[in-house]
Amino acid sequence: MFVSASWDQFLFLAINGARFVLLDWFMPLVSSHVVLFGLAVAAVVWTLRRSGLRQAGVVALILAVAVGLSDVTAGVLKKIAHRPRPLAVEHGVWAHGDEGWRRWENPPGAGKSSFPSAHAANAAAAAVVLLAVAGWRRHVLWLPGVVGYSRIYLGKHYPADVLAGFAVGLAVGLVVSVLVQSFRSRGAASPGG
C-alpha cells in the first residue's frame, strides 16, 4: 500500500484545512471538466481566428490526443499504485458534495485511487500543447497550477499525487508536441509540402 510522506500529509492538511469563501466557490468549478473543455474550445476558436480552419482542426485533434493519452496513462498508473484518496485515510477532510461543503468521514467515492491526479495530468498536457503547438504564451502554465491546487483543496488528492500528475502530463504533452513538430518539419521539407 502507498504510504504518504510526512511533508505530503502536512501540505495536504494545510491546504485542505484553509477555508476561504471565494475558493470554496471557485475550486469546484476549476476542477470540473467544463473548465478543461472550455479551454479547449477557446484554443480552437483562437486558432481559427488566427490561423484558419485547418490549423484549428489540427489543434483540436492534438489537444484531444494529448489529453486522452494523459488520462489513460494516469488511469493505468492509478491501478498500479493503489494509493487511497485522502478522503479515505485522513480524518475530517473538507470536501464538496451534493449537500455543499462539509467535513467528511469516508464519503462515497473515497475508495478510488489517488496517485497520480488525472486532472493535474490532463491540465499539464493541455498546457504543454497550447504552449508548444498552438503558440499560446507562457501564462497558460497557470492552468495546471490552479487545477492541481483545486484537487488538494477539494480533498481529492495529496500534493504528491498532483506533482506526479504534472509529470505525466508534461511527459505526454512533450512527446505529442515533439511528434507534431517532427511531422510538420517533414511536411515542410518534402517536395510538395
Q: Using H for helix, E for strand and C for coil, what is the string for the chain?
A: CCCCCHHHHHHHHHHHHCCCHHHHHHHHHHCCHHHHHHHHHHHHHHHHHHHCHHHHHHHHHHHHHHHHHHHHHHHHHHHHHCCECHHHHCCCEEEEECCEEEEECCCCCCCCECCCCHHHHHHHHHHHHHHHCCCCCHHHHHHHHHHHHHHHHCCCCCHHHHHHHHHHHHHHHHHHHHHHHHHHHHHHHCCCC
Helix axes 33-51, 53-81, angle to 10 degrees: 150
Any domain includes 88 = yes
User: In the block, which residue shows the cell 500534493?
Assistant: 159
Question: 53: domain range?
Answer: 23-182
Any domain includes 4 = no
Q: Total structural domains in the chain?
A: 1
C-alpha cell at 63: 489537444
Structure confidence by residue, pLDDT tens digits, 57-71:
777 888 889 999 999
Any domain includes 55 = yes
Any domain includes 189 = no
Any domain includes 3 = no
Any domain includes 188 = no
Any domain includes 12 = no
The pLDDT value recorded for residue 115 is: 92
The pLDDT value recorded for residue 132 is: 79
User: 27 versus 41: which is more confidently predicted?
Assistant: 27
- Could you tell me the pTM of the whole model? 0.85
Structure confidence by residue, pLDDT tens digits, 117-150:
999 999 999 999 888 776 667 777 888 999 999 9
Any domain includes 14 = no
Cα angle, residue 112 at apex, residues 90 and 74 outer, rounded to 5°: 115
